[in-house]
Structure 1
Amino acid sequence: MSRFSESERDRIRSQLVEDGRELFARFGFDRTRIKDVTEAVGIGTSTFYQFFDSKEALYVAVLHAEQERIEAHIDAAVSEAETPREEVRTMLRTTFREVRTNPLASRLIVGGELQQLYDQLSEADRESLGSHPREADLPYASRWAAMDEVRYDDPDLINGLLRSLIFVTRAQDSPIAVLHVSEYEEVEAALIETIVDGLFVD
């Protein structure tokens, strides 16, 4: 039986996710060891398994929490927009910024790692996580598709169009033609404006 109270268990689990987030973002999944996380939290390696069945299960929990944080950040930014056009522009700018500056956001949105890893977990690992994490979709597509001024009425098409645009962030690291920061920012801004103009009828 665990020697931890319920509040202690909640605190330790939250700390594992928080410190795991920092280590996974800095070193990646493969180079981060369970020992690195437990040392950061200040618990023994054996204690880790009272909270997560594997490193993969912790990483999925980290990505799930990161997904919720990113979505809340985008929601806050978009809520300030005054028109549907500005909503789309703000959502894309905010998402691009997250993907460019946050390795975990890139792995979630561009790499689709959350669903990939979840599918590889054992049944025991899945049960320990509770709810099934969903794929990181860009929000608002259904609401925009219902608007008369929007050219397309298929939310999946709009979502796919906007998601595909995010892949331009990889152009910075292209082995064929690496873009300088100023060039990339210009390309990104032009692409966003082109998509916004094309998405709306007027």
Structure 2
Amino acid sequence: MRGFSDDERERITEALVEAGQRQFAQFGLERTRIKDITDEVDIGTSTFYQFFDSKEELYVEVLLREHRAFHTAAEEAVEDVDEPREQARAVLQTMFEEVESNPLIYRLIVEGELRSLQSRLSDAERAEIVDSIRGRRLSTLEEWVDDPAFRIDDREMVDALLRKLVFVSRAKNIPVAANTGPEYEETRDVLIDVVVNGLFSEPRDGDR
């Protein structure tokens, strides 16, 4: 079996991750075949195993990269926002947008996809996942907690609250009868307002 130079290995690895991202997003883990991925990259299925031990290992790599991108999007949403109250609003809006538009992020965060993979992973792989996800917390949380108007002084609680709020996105695809009330998007936006105003004391007149 031919070897690959370092540059070739890097190029093929990235191509496999990108192809896997597309296939997993469209078909999910179970319905995606290794051949579907290698055909995109123009390598043989046997060559795949020189880069990843299994389809599951590639899937974990894809999910971890998606999680890093999700975290980066939330951080970038507050780069030009100074007020903690508006930072919280921007973070929540961004988190919902990412979960609603990215099927991989939805499966990772809302459906808990990584938990279903636990039995298929090694102890080292499970430890890597835990370290990667737990190690990513919004840098602005400290600023919020230190703000005198912020109602919660436990950073871990705030982090958990933000993570769990996006579970509301499950309601987006629940079929409802016509003319039964506000659409999902409207109720989600009201929820964001309620949460932000609840996190900070003395809401401004415009936010009441």
Normalising by the smaller structure, the TM-score range is 0.7 to 0.9
Aligned to 2:206: none
Flag structure 2 segments of 5+ consecutive residues without an equivalent: 203-208
The 3 A distance-change label for structure 1 pair 130 and 197 is: closer
Q: Identity across aligned pairs (percent)?
A: 45
Matched positions, count: 199
Alpha-carbon distance between aligned partners in 2 of 1:120 and 1:179, rounded to the nearest angstrom: 43
Alignment of 1:12-161 (within 5 A): 12-114=12-114, 116-117=116-117, 120-122=120-122, 126=125, 132-135=131-134, 139=138, 140-161=140-161
The 3 A distance-change label for structure 1 pair 145 and 195 is: same
The code of the aligned residue for 2:125 comes to: R
The CA deviation at 1:115 is 5.1
* 2:16 and 2:38 in contact (8 A); partners too: yes
Return structure 1 stretches of 4+ with deviation > 4 angstroms: 129-132, 135-138
Deviates more, 1:188-197 or 1:99-108: 99-108
The CA deviation at 1:160 is 2.1
Alpha-carbon distance between aligned partners in 1 of 2:107 and 2:77, rounded to the nearest angstrom: 21
The code of the aligned residue for 1:161 comes to: L
Deviates more, 1:129-138 or 1:77-86: 129-138
TM-score, normalised to structure 1, is 0.87
* 1:67 and 1:136 in contact (8 A); partners too: no
Flag structure 1 segments of 5+ consecutive residues without an equivalent: none
Query: Residue by residue, what CA displacement relative to the aligned partner does 1:33-78 show, whole Å, maximum 9, x if unpaired?
Result: 1110000111000100011001100000000111111222221111
RMSD: 2.7
Residue 151 of structure 2 aligns to a residue whose secondary structure is: coil
